[in-house]
Amino acid sequence: MNNEDDFEGIFGTPPRKLYRRGDPDTSKGAAEGVDSTRLEAMVYRAIKGFGRPGCISDEVRALPEFRGFPYSSVTARYAALIEKRLVFDSGMRRRGKSGRPMRVMVASDYASPSDFPATIKPSPTTPKASAQMRLL
């Protein structure tokens, strides 16, 4: 299992990756003001707190530590955590508050890429991928 101390220097995304080329200067200024290191660490700890069953975004955003945070301040961290392989998309889906399916994310402490091929993007036509995409 991973120890959070092992992740020092892993959390955080350079501001240049938080906006698109051609975005207005206000977007660039906003990206400079985001403490992505703190937010990624918070979101990682939240997902890790759900253990092996994992969680959906609605469950993360409902936690007390995220009250008052804009939706995008939390949800924008998932991609960075998945890219860094600190969190995996399990391939499973649960219904969110909207009634729509949401991906179930699991911290790397409880999984590896081989446990969740959905993170590796299998073809949706394969039987294994189809079975993973079922709703819980």
How big is the chain by its Cα radius of gyration, in Å?
16
Q: Which helix (H) or strand (E) holds 105?
A: strand 101-107
In this predicted structure, what is the pLDDT of residue 63?
Answer: 97
- Cα separations in angstroms, 43 against 24, 51, 75, 132, 135: 28, 13, 9, 24, 24
Residue 77 CB neighbours (<10 A): 24
Instruction: Report the C-alpha gap between 136 and 132 in whole angstroms.
Output: 10
The string of pLDDT tens digits covering residues 2-38 is: 455 555 578 987 777 777 788 888 887 877 777 888 9
Instruction: Report the C-alpha gap between 91 and 121 in whole angstroms.
Output: 9
Tally the domains of the chain: 1
The string of pLDDT tens digits covering residues 91-127 is: 899 999 999 999 999 999 887 666 665 554 433 443 3
The CATH number of residue 43's host domain is: 1.10.10.10
Q: In terms of residue numbers, what domain contains 67?
A: 4-132
| Residue position matching structure tokens 């200024």 | 29
